[in-house]
């Protein structure tokens, strides 16, 4: 059966041989190595048989030495089928355009679905998405990957706590979770406030609880700053009535509340090189587009290399789609940006200043925006292998309160 | 001379049980029921029509009779015949 199939693929013809003893012609063909099949005798001087398309030339060569008359009566197999098909120009054109149309339609966004958020935010998200180029009718391959869109969206729509972007075929699904600002529940639980870090108290504002420290006191981590236990005697004022006095005989537990800032200090080590290189993008750029399959890239837009001295290349690709399948063809966009290498050397003083700035920024990042850097002092400096090693002493004013729940059980 | 060769060949097949169709250059005919006939090692087509196939062999002819014959396959020394076979006959020179 396979034997026959291969003949169908390569194509074969039916020939009619006319002459005396026509079967002898087929015997001659067979002797010459041409495979002949389905030989039928139609009449005494007429014989029909099939030969492969590729054997026609050889068959004609044999015929030249004989007196047989040969006519082709049938053309079979794919080569003929395809030729017949290609002759029908409108059909071929129609098929080509329909494939092109499907290809075109499978590569555009059909729908953007937003779920999980109220109408007003939905509208806002929609607006943002349109500004990113995500709207029905946009090309799929020109979009950023979903994770990037997700990040952008979270940044640009502050009401969103989380956004899930998923692309399924030609539909964009976007699931959002709204940020609901929940008022922190009033802590009813009795608690102490203790020091989180060692430092010297600078400011003290206690709204609830018993103060255990004073301004300019030195505290170690774990020291109680404000206690949640209200002692009867301490709370007692001379103006208070006697009934209250009796109630407050036993100690009362409250949730201590206070704002306490302290002067804390940090030792920071930084290393600053005296010489350093950096790359800078000049702003000149050029875009190139490629069709990519495997390792092969076919440029389709943007030819020629720009005459930049140094080039920073950044490329990202998107797969083309056909119906639900992703084709192994990628459209790659490459951005060529001109860049310059800069080499900077600085003096020791400049390096130290840079080191201090760097240390302060780093520390501020660690401690948060509430902390205030008061002063910094270089404790130690040394130059080694073209680098300045600095040890800095930084003093900071910051909130050192840590909440510690009170155990009422014991 | 030819006779001497013939005798040697017969001896070879008998003594060493070598396949006789190779040694003696005789056709090997395989018949499946009465519908297929497969003949190898023939020397050429002599007559072919709807009802008859005559093939030359080393020592004469093989004549096959029947109806609605079609040569399903033709290779240099092989033929596959399809049709309704009624008789296979060996004809001398």
The rounded distance, in Å, linking the Cα atoms of A401 and A203 is 12
A262, with CB counted inside 10 A (0-12, 13-18, 19+), is buried
Categorize the per-residue pLDDT at A42 as very low, low, confident or very high, splitting at 50, 70 and 90: confident
Q: Do domains A2-83 and A111-178 have the same CATH topology?
A: no
A380: alpha, beta or left? (left if phi > 0; alpha if psi -120 to 50): beta
Lowest-pLDDT range, A8-22, A47-61, A87-101, A162-176?
A162-176
* pLDDT value for A342: 85
Phi and psi dihedrals of A295, rounded to 5?
Answer: -95, -5
The gap from C-alpha A223 to its chain's centroid, in whole angstroms, comes to: 47
Give the ipTM of the model, two decimals please. Answer: 0.79
The pair of structure tokens assigned to A326 is: 């992703």
Categorize the per-residue pLDDT at A174 as very low, low, confident or very high, splitting at 50, 70 and 90: confident
* pLDDT value for A241: 47
Q: Which of B44, B47, B74 sits opposite A39 (nearest CB)?
A: B74
pLDDT along chain B (93 residues), means of 10: 78 76 81 92 88 88 92 88 92 77
Which of B37, B48, B56 should we substitute to test contact with A (largest number of A Cβ atoms within 10 Å)? B48
Q: State the Cα torsion A296-A298-A302-A307 to the nearest 10°.
A: 40
Q: Which of B69, B73, B76 sits opposite A37 (nearest CB)?
A: B73
| pLDDT over 50 at A239, yes or no | no
Domain A111-178 has CATH 3.10.20.310: yes
Lowest-pLDDT range, A229-238, A341-350, A390-399?
A229-238
Cα A184–Cα A190–Cα A192 angle in degrees, nearest 5 = 95
Q: Which of B47, B69, B74 sits opposite A36 (nearest CB)?
A: B74
* pLDDT value for B93: 65
Give A-chain residues touching B76 at CB under 8 angstroms: 30-31, 33
Distance from CA of B42 to the nearest CA of A (A): 11
Q: Which of A35, A44, A49 sits opposite B75 (nearest CB)?
A: A35
The pair of structure tokens assigned to A130 is: 């349109």
Domain chopping of chain B, boundaries: 26-91
Categorize the per-residue pLDDT at A246 as very low, low, confident or very high, splitting at 50, 70 and 90: very low
Residue that is written with structure tokens 């509340």 in the block: A257
Distance from CA of A34 to the nearest CA of B (A): 7
Q: State the sign of the Cα–Cα–Cα–Cα dihedral A270, A275, A279, A280.
A: positive
Lowest-pLDDT range, A117-121, A212-216, A309-313, B14-18?
B14-18
Could you tell me which of A269, A282, A229, A306 has the C-alpha nearest to residue A381?
A: A269
Global confidence as pTM: 0.43
Query: What is the average per-residue pLDDT within A162-183?
Result: 79
Over the stretch A134-153, which tens digit does the pLDDT of each residue have? 888 888 777 777 788 888 88
* pLDDT value for A183: 62
Q: Which of B45, B50, B71 sits opposite A24 (nearest CB)?
A: B45
Kind of pairing between the strands at A401-405 and A191-195: antiparallel
Q: Do B74 and A35 touch (CB under 8 A)?
A: yes
Give B-chain residues touching A31 at CB under 8 angstroms: 44, 76
Categorize the per-residue pLDDT at A408 as very low, low, confident or very high, splitting at 50, 70 and 90: low
Q: Which of B45, B48, B76 sits opposite A33 (nearest CB)?
A: B76
Domain chopping of chain A, boundaries: 2-83, 111-178, 191-262, 276-344
The rounded distance, in Å, linking the Cα atoms of A14 and A57 is 14
For chain B, give the longest Cα–Cα distance.
43
Cα A294–Cα A295–Cα A300 angle in degrees, nearest 5 = 90
Could you tell me which of A110, A9, A100 has the C-alpha nearest to residue A52?
A: A9
Which of B39, B45, B53 should we substitute to test contact with A (largest number of A Cβ atoms within 10 Å)? B45
Query: Coil, strand, or helix at residue A360?
Result: helix
Query: Chain B, 23-42: which have a CB under 8 Å from a chain A CB?
Result: none
Categorize the per-residue pLDDT at A117 as very low, low, confident or very high, splitting at 50, 70 and 90: confident
Distance from CA of A53 to the nearest CA of B (A): 16
| pLDDT over 70 at A232, yes or no | no
Return the number of other C-beta atoms located less than 10 Å from residue A320's C-beta. Answer: 20
8 Å CB contact between A69 and A17: yes
Give A-chain residues touching B47 at CB under 8 angstroms: 21, 23
Residue that is written with structure tokens 């660690």 in the block: A366
Q: Which CATH architecture has domain A2-83?
A: 2-Layer Sandwich (3.30)
CATH (residue range B26-91): 2.60.40.2000
Q: Do A40 and B70 touch (CB under 8 A)?
A: yes
Could you tell me which of A82, A79, A69 has the C-alpha nearest to residue A15?
A: A69
* pLDDT value for A238: 47
Return the number of other C-beta atoms located less than 10 Å from residue A309's C-beta. Answer: 9
Query: What is the average per-residue pLDDT within A322-347?
Result: 82
| pLDDT over 60 at A248, yes or no | no
Give A-chain residues touching B72 at CB under 8 angstroms: 37-38
* pLDDT value for A236: 47
Rounded alpha-carbon distances, angstroms, from residue A136 to A110, A113, A121, A133: 5, 10, 19, 9
Query: Coil, strand, or helix at residue A289?
Result: strand
The rounded distance, in Å, linking the Cα atoms of A116 and A110 is 20
The gap from C-alpha A119 to its chain's centroid, in whole angstroms, comes to: 27
| pLDDT over 70 at A181, yes or no | no
The rounded distance, in Å, linking the Cα atoms of A59 and A120 is 80
Helix H or strand E encompassing B4: helix B2-16
Q: From A36, which residue of chain B is nearest by alpha-carbon distance?
A: B74
User: In the beta sheet, which residues pair with residue B17?
Assistant: none
Buried b (16+ CB within 10 A) or exposed e, A331-346: bbbbebbbbeeeeeeb
8 Å CB contact between B79 and B64: no
The pair of structure tokens assigned to A238 is: 């001379």
Q: From A31, which residue of chain B is nearest by alpha-carbon distance?
A: B76
The rounded distance, in Å, linking the Cα atoms of B29 and B7 is 23
What does pLDDT average to over chain A?
Answer: 81
DSSP class of residue A185 equals P
* pLDDT value for A245: 46
**Is B76 within 8 Å of chain A by CB?**
yes
* pLDDT value for B81: 92
Q: What share of chain A in percent tops pLDDT 70? A: 91
The rounded distance, in Å, linking the Cα atoms of B49 and B36 is 16
The rounded distance, in Å, linking the Cα atoms of B64 and B81 is 10
């Amino acid at each position: 059966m396979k034997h026959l199939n291969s003949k169908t693929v390569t194509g074969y013809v039916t020939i009619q041989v006319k002459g005396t003893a026509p079967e002898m012609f087929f015997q001659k063909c067979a002797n010459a190595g041409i495979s002949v099949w389905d030989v039928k005798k139609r009449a005494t001087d007429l014989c029909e048989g099939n030969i492969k398309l590729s054997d026609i030339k050889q068959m004609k060569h044999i015929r030249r030495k004989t007196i047989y008359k040969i006519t082709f009566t049938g053309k079979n197999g794919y080569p003929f089928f395809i030729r017949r098909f290609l002759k029908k120009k409108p059909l071929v054109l129609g098929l080509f355009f329909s494939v092109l149309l499907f290809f075109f339609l499978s590569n555009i966004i059909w729908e953007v679905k937003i779920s999980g958020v109220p109408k007003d935010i939905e509208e806002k998200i929609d607006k943002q998405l349109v500004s990113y180029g995500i709207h029905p009718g946009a090309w799929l391959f020109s979009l950023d990957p979903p994770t990037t869109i997700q990040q952008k969206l979270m940044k640009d729509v502050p009401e969103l706590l989380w956004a899930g972007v998923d692309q399924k075929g030609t539909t964009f699904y976007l699931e959002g979770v709204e940020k609901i600002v929940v008022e922190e529940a009033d802590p009813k639980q009795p608690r102490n406030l203790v020091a989180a870090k060692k430092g010297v108290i600078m400011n003290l504002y206690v709204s609830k609880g018993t103060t255990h420290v004073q301004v300019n006191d030195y505290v170690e981590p774990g020291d109680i700053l404000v206690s949640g236990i209200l002692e009867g005697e301490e709370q007692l004022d001379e103006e208070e009535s006697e009934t209250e006095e009796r109630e407050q005989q036993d100690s009362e537990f409250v949730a201590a509340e206070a704002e306490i800032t302290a002067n804390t200090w940090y030792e920071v080590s930084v290393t600053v090189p005296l010489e350093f290189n950096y790359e800078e993008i000049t702003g000149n750029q050029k875009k190139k587009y490629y069709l990519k399959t495997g390792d092969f890239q076919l440029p389709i837009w943007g030819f020629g290399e720009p005459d930049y001295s140094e080039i920073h290349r950044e490329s990202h690709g998107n797969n083309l789609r056909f119906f639900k399948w992703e084709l192994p063809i990628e459209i790659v966009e490459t951005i060529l940006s001109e860049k310059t290498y800069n080499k900077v050397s600085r003096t020791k003083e400049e390096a130290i200043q840079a080191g201090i700035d760097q240390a302060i920024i780093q520390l501020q990042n660690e401690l948060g925006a509430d902390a205030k850097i008061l002063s910094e002092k270089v404790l130690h400096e040394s130059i080694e292998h073209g680098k300045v090693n600095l040890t800095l002493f930084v003093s900071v004013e910051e909130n050192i309160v840590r909440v510690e729940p009170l155990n009422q059980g014991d | 001379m030819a006779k001497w060769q013939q005798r040697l060949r017969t001896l070879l097949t008998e003594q060493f049980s070598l396949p006789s169709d190779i040694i003696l250059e005789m056709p090997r005919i395989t018949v499946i029921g009465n519908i297929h006939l497969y003949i190898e090692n023939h020397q050429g087509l002599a007559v072919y029509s709807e009802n008859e196939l005559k093939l030359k062999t080393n020592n004469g002819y093989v004549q096959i009779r029947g109806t609605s014959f079609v040569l399903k396959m033709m290779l240099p020394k092989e033929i596959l015949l399809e049709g309704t076979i009624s008789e296979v006959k060996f004809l001398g020179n």
